[in-house]
A and B are shown apart, each in its own frame.
Chain A
Amino acid sequence: MNIHPAQYHRNSKKWQYHLGKTGVVLLTTRLEVTTKELESFLPYCFLLVQLESGEKIEVMGEAQTNFLVGDAVRLELRKLAQPDQFGIIPYGLKACKLN
């Protein structure tokens, strides 16, 4: 993914704002092909989520998990990519199913 450390710093503020929010899956697609940096998560879902706070967000679903429309989810901190050239192990927002 090659998130530059400065980008990672900036993004972490946005992620912090959404962390722990819950919502419902509006749309989902299951990816079988992606970029090299994200291959280890395949298959993963990319989701449009309606948050209870009123906003919509596009977000990756946790790896190797199938999501369906209507699934309840929470935004949690998960690994976004394998360690990159900057040595950062990037953690960021992913949607996880609520049991």
Chain B
Amino acid sequence: MKKIRIIGNYITQFGELWDRSLESLFEEATFGALNSVLGSKFAKKMVRHEYGTLLPKSRFLPTEIEAVFVANMAGGSFANQEHLNAVVAQMLPHRPPAFRVEAACASGSIALELAELALQSGKYKTVLVVGAEKMTDVSAQTTTKILSGASEYQKEYGSTFPALYALLAQAHMQAFGTSREQLSVVASQNHTHAVSNTKAQFQKEIPAEVVSKSAVIAEPLRLLDCSPVSDGASAVILTTKKSKVFMHKPVIEAVGHAQDTINLAERESLLELLATKLAAQQAYQTAGITPQDIVYAEVHDCFTIAQILATEDLGFFKKGDGGSAIEKGDTTIGGKVIINPSGGLKACGHPVGATGVKQVAFLAELLQSQQLTQKKDKVYALAHNVGGSGATAVVHIVSQTKYMEQS
């Protein structure tokens, strides 16, 4: 296995970005990631047309990007823009081959996985992975309809995504006594984490009591149990090159990917997302670690119940204990594992095509920012991205090695 390093990463502001188009979000993320590779040698950040002026001896040239993997769920429906691989490829001076990937809310992590496979195959040595979604140009009802395309429309007619996760919540509550208050703590905690994330859509505290009193969407899920409709983009640059310049960069240790039925009725159990469990097992095995080794985890909290399920299915807590663990503070700073330090989908935002890339980009940034002070030789973080109501699940494990030992 080749070692894949994350040498560049960037996340745009997430939110209702009225003045931003889908294309401009892709562009900002792409060039933001390139600038992050170039580093502080450049006094100002370069813009698109300036990349052609980089000297051959530069630390990194955009022409080193040999392929682009573009993640997006519904650009055609939200913005009437398809052919997104071409839209992004034309932003780079050398027009590298580009691939568009769609897997509902897991589009980003699947794009990452395909990029990793391409790197492992030896076909490419350095690639860009960029995900974006522009969702706020249509009404909330239209958004609901577009997103329902990620469920099995014919077999789940009349459902919405909140309704499908509400059924999962009802099952969990019946089996384990998971409470309304525990769901609210998930949302509240993620909003607390988002306060320090300047890219977050909601950089503010929301008390659990307010979540519990928000409007009902699909019982027991309320408005503030749901991740928001968001615009945003994120990008990472991955390489297998063994340059000394990049030896201090985070490593993608493993990826796990599993599928389940797209509709709920055909699943054996609704008390877990089996695809998450299987993807996590694959990832832990490949990385040679256990859930107890994970320090940070960005998990797919599209609804509060989804985070409770994820913390159990990823092995952080015993099945049925996810709600109480969150209530006890085991998932925040000072707890057993810090879940969603970015604020998660709930508070940071959920531009669906960007989310899987954003999770890894955020963890890469977080791990690098703590590299000089980290105590362990190696710190592990996990990203968990789900498509639909659990039909697709991808788990990435990222590591950061102590800086001094590499020098």
Residue pair A29, B158 in contact (C-beta under 8 Å): no
Q: What's the nearest-Cβ distance from chain A to residue B77, in Å?
A: 13
A57 — which chain B residues lie within 8 A by C-beta?
Answer: 265
Q: How far is the CA of A31 from the CA of B212 in the complex (A)?
A: 17
Residue of B nearest to A2 (CB): B145
Interface residues on B, range: 20 to 34
- Give which listed residue, B216, B218, B220, B266, contacts A46 with CB less than 8 A: B218
B170 contacts partner chain A, Cβ-Cβ < 8 Å: yes
Interface contacts (Cβ under 8 Å), in number, total 79
Residue pair A35, B163 in contact (C-beta under 8 Å): no
A59 — which chain B residues lie within 8 A by C-beta?
Answer: 157-158
A9 contacts partner chain B, Cβ-Cβ < 8 Å: no
Residue pair A33, B158 in contact (C-beta under 8 Å): no
Q: What's the nearest-Cβ distance from chain A to residue B281, in Å?
A: 26
B338 contacts partner chain A, Cβ-Cβ < 8 Å: no
B141-179 to A contact mask, C-beta < 8 Å, 1/0: 110110010000011111110110011001100100000
B219 contacts partner chain A, Cβ-Cβ < 8 Å: yes
Q: What's the nearest-Cβ distance from chain B to residue A51, in Å?
A: 10
Which residues of chain A in 13-56 are interfacial with respect to chain B, using CB atoms and an 8 Å cutoff?
14, 27-38, 44, 46, 48, 55-56
Residue pair A58, B174 in contact (C-beta under 8 Å): no
Residue pair B167, A60 in contact (C-beta under 8 Å): no
A37 — which chain B residues lie within 8 A by C-beta?
Answer: 145
**Given A31-B217, A33-B218, A46-B218, are A80 and B157 neighbors across the interface (CB < 8 Å)?**
yes
B160 — which chain A residues lie within 8 A by C-beta?
Answer: 31, 33-35, 46
B163 — which chain A residues lie within 8 A by C-beta?
Answer: 29, 31, 46
- Give which listed residue, A30, A38, A55, contacts B158 with CB less than 8 A: A38
**Given A30-B218, A46-B218, A80-B157, are A35 and B166 neighbors across the interface (CB < 8 Å)?**
no
- Give which listed residue, B142, B216, B220, B264, contacts A48 with CB less than 8 A: B264
Q: List 18 A-B contacts (CB under 8 A).
A: A14-B154, A29-B167, A30-B219, A32-B215, A33-B217, A34-B160, A35-B145, A44-B158, A46-B159, A46-B160, A48-B264, A55-B265, A56-B265, A58-B263, A60-B158, A80-B157, A80-B158, A92-B157
- Residues of B whose CB lies within 8 Å of any CB of A are 141-142, 144-145, 148, 154-160, 162-163, 166-167, 170-171, 174, 215-221, 263-266, 270
CB-CB nearest 3 A-B residue pairs: A60-B158, A29-B166, A56-B265
